[in-house]
Structure formats: C-alpha cells, structure tokens
Amino acid sequence: MPERTHSRESEIDVTKASARLPGLDIDITHQQSPGGEWEQVSINVRATPSFEALGRSFEAVDPFLLWVQAVRLMWMPWLLTAQTMMLPGGWPRRLPNAE
C-alpha cells in the first residue's frame, strides 16, 4: 500500500511504495511540487545476492534449452487438444441438457 507524506516546511507531497520479494527489494518514491511545476519519480531496486552474482548464475544456464522449454509450454495446450481430437470419438461430448 502506498504511503503518503506531506511536509509543511517544504510543501512537497511525497508518495512512497515498497515491495519485498525473495532476493529483491523495490522502492518507488513520487514527489510533486505544490504548484505542479515539477514532479519526480525514483525507482530503487536492490538485489540480494548482487546483480553480478545473479548474472553469473544465468550464464551457467543454456539459453537454447530455455527457449525450447518456453516453446514447449506455449504449444502444449494446442498439442494436447490435437491429440485429444485424434483419439477415437475424440470430439468433445456434449453435456446432457438440464431440462
């Protein structure tokens, strides 16, 4: 839930939102001047372990294998439907009418 603060000294309206995910912290800050002359949005992302360590772990992964798995997941519903239609009596049976 965004947190809203207002300072009388500076008259700047500040809204903050934070998200905590496993290994990743995201903080978003929105500031706007009272007259609307300017506005500022800051997004801070912090990874634990570091982005460098995360990148090293992805280097060990075969990109072709990831692509093959993504394509398989994308086509799986269509292939299962085609397989079902090829079975004897594969057309979906109708449910009895509820009359």
Side-chain-side CA neighbours of 56 within 13 Å: the count stands at 5
Note the pLDDT tens digit of each residue in 8-36: 546 778 899 999 988 888 999 999 888 88
For the question of whether the overall pTM of this predicted structure is more than 0.85, the answer is no
Q: Which pLDDT belongs to residue 93?
A: 59
Q: With the CA atoms of 4, 7, 13 and 17 taken in that order, what torsion angle do they form, in degrees rounded to the nearest 10?
A: -30
Residue 26 in contact with residue 19, Cβ under 8 Å?
Answer: yes
In whole angstroms, give the CA distance from residue 59 to residue 99. 61
